[in-house]
Structure 1
Amino acid sequence: MGRDHATHHQRTRTRPQTKAPLSNLAVPNCSFHVHAANPFQTKADYSGKEPCLEDLYICSYTPTLLALIRSRQLMKKHVPPSFVAIGQGQPGGGKGKALLAVDSELKLVHKLIPATANRTTISGDAARRAGALEALQGNTWVHLACHGKQDSVQPYDSHFVMKDEHLMLLNIMERNVPHAEFAFLSACHTAVGDEETPDEVIHLTAGLQFSGFKSVVGTLWEVDDAVAKHVVKAFYENMFKDLKDGGAMDCTKAAWALDRATQAVKTQVPLEQRMVFIHIGV
């Protein structure tokens, strides 16, 4: 499986259980993803591997520091939560292979979202471009499970595969999404940038952040939908496990929840399918 390169500013935060103070680190113009740095050195007493970065820090990225600042400023607004899960596992017409785990992933997500949120699911024949655009515009939280395609030549033509027409990045960025908060992009290649133009990062994940989503989970390479659902399940369980009745859904927990999820599924999900997911934004 080829690993495409993406370029982002990187932020790391120490885990809450460590004694070190909470810290942030921005690394500009770097195509090496620090969250994927795993231990290769054995301890001196051969009792196991030395701790690696993912054992000590929670990693988050941002395409530009300005995008991160803007996302934080927009967090001051609060609106009632609404959640839409959009899935297209049978695009047909030569648009890609069938994604057999999409429907079960959508059901799982619906079950894990707090009942206090207005929950909607769009799938099958109903998962078309116009309906998906309307859902993105009308909801604060979004989960997308489908094929994703990055266009390195025409980045704004990068798209999610729907039943009829492609849902292109340009379509999304032209819409006004004033209340958008969080998006989970369970699709391939949604956070793949261009090494040659690191300061002009345009991909699906960054595009959603630029459009108004404050916090986004995207992917660096191909996703195996059969195992991705384990990460998705663990993510939403951690995202909402401490949410009390009437409590507010908080998208600023996303980086932490993704970190906890990838730790929780180590025995179920291969390393490359745990590292494929990254967090961008607040």
Structure 2
Amino acid sequence: MILTAFSGSGIYGPDSGDSQISNYVVSSYTPTLSTLLHPPKADPISSFSLLSVIQSSAPGASSIPSTKQELEHIQQRLANHDHVVLEGEAGTKRRVVKAMEKCNWLHLACHGIQRPDEPTKSALLLEDGHLTLDEIIKLNLPRAEFAFLSACQTTTGDENLSEEAVHIAGGMLLAGYRSVVATMWSIQDELAPVVTDEFYRHIVENGDRPDSRKAAEALHLSVQNLRKQPGIQLTDWIPFVHLGV
């Protein structure tokens, strides 16, 4: 069963026992009520193709070297599936958008920024510029099924906005993706490959075609695994969230 609940809810401490909600439910979020009232068709199409966009650096941003390890994990887990990779200089806006139109799954390992002053300009940092929220929601993506946004601040809203769900992950849902994994704030570079590896391990279990309907549960299990790692703090695993159906 998948319920809408905040994954970090509960009591934490040396004597807290099993008083965290994540021990009992798989959390999934919806940016708007209309997403629940009129959900997109949940059945995946028969064909499968994953686009991975890997940007370990971007103009004006710090380096995120673990994106290369992230890609290695994906390639190992999806060795028997169609996988398109745009890495480094190949990851231009034009090439990324064109590939998004052809591939039904998307994995973005790059920098993301939230613009509270101009929310529709929140963006993913690609090789030659920003792919902004207002550009994303205008895309025509009839094959879109699932997106993994392994980037910082992809579900960061703002309490001062009339619509708090104006963020990149929400834009992906508006563009047609039925299911999205994203982050609520900045994440540690070295932790993203850990979550990614576990996520795709669960999503391709038994060698079947990856099923986006299992995304919330796969992320839940991945985060639970992360929590068991030495030195992991509450703020390290809470940012990873699932949106959609």
TM-score by length of 2: 0.91
- Which residue of the partner structure matches residue 74 of structure 2? 109
SS of residue paired to 1:36: coil
Q: Distance in 1 between matches of 2:100 and 2:46?
A: 15
- Which residue of the partner structure matches residue 54 of structure 2? 87
Q: In the TM superposition, what whole-angstrom CA distance separates every residue of 1:173-224 from its partner, at most 9, and x where no partner exists? A: 1110011000000000000112234645210001001110000001011011
SS of residue paired to 1:225: coil
* Preserved CA contact (<8 Å) 1:220 1:277: yes
- Which residue of the partner structure matches residue 57 of structure 1? 25
- What is the identity, as a one-letter code, of the residue corresponding to 1:256? E
SS of residue paired to 2:26: strand
SS of residue paired to 1:188: coil
- Which residue of the partner structure matches residue 221 of structure 2? 260
Of all paired residues, the percent bearing the same amino acid is: 30
1:275 aligns with 2:238: yes
* Preserved CA contact (<8 Å) 1:143 1:183: yes
Q: Distance in 1 between matches of 2:46 and 2:132?
A: 27
* Preserved CA contact (<8 Å) 1:144 1:187: yes
Question: Given the alignment, which residue of 31, 39, 48 partners 2:11?
Answer: 39
Q: Where do 5+ consecutive residues of structure 1 fail to align?
A: 1-12, 15-23, 26-32
- Return 218-227 or 165-174, whichever deviates more: 165-174
* Preserved CA contact (<8 Å) 1:59 1:255: yes
Q: Distance in 2 between matches of 1:213 and 1:163?
A: 23
Instruction: Provide closer, same or farther for how the CA distance between residues 177 and 152 of structure 1 changes in structure 2, counting only shifts above 3 A.
Output: same
State the 4+ residue runs in structure 1 displaced beyond 6 angstroms.
none
Instruction: Provide closer, same or farther for how the CA distance between residues 164 and 65 of structure 1 changes in structure 2, counting only shifts above 3 A.
Output: same
- Which residue of the partner structure matches residue 124 of structure 2? 160
* Preserved CA contact (<8 Å) 2:28 2:242: yes
- Which residue of the partner structure matches residue 18 of structure 1? none
Q: Distance in 1 between matches of 2:212 and 2:85?
A: 20
- What is the identity, as a one-letter code, of the residue corresponding to 2:238? M
Larger Rg: 1
CA RMSD of aligned residues (A): 2.0
- What is the identity, as a one-letter code, of the residue corresponding to 1:273? D
1:73 aligns with 2:34: no
Q: Distance in 1 between matches of 2:209 and 2:162?
A: 36
Q: Distance in 2 between matches of 1:69 and 1:83?
A: 28
- Which residue of the partner structure matches residue 139 of structure 2? 175
Report deviation, 1:75: 2.5
Report deviation, 1:69: 4.2
Q: Where do 5+ consecutive residues of structure 2 fail to align?
A: none
- What is the identity, as a one-letter code, of the residue corresponding to 1:39? I
- What is the identity, as a one-letter code, of the residue corresponding to 1:35? S
- Which residue of the partner structure matches residue 158 of structure 2? 194
Q: Distance in 2 between matches of 1:200 and 1:148?
A: 17
* Preserved CA contact (<8 Å) 1:190 1:219: yes
Instruction: Provide closer, same or farther for how the CA distance between residues 157 and 56 of structure 1 changes in structure 2, counting only shifts above 3 A.
Output: same
- What is the identity, as a one-letter code, of the residue corresponding to 1:60? S
Q: Distance in 2 between matches of 1:208 and 1:275?
A: 21
TM-score by length of 1: 0.80
Instruction: Provide closer, same or farther for how the CA distance between residues 124 and 41 of structure 1 changes in structure 2, counting only shifts above 3 A.
Output: closer
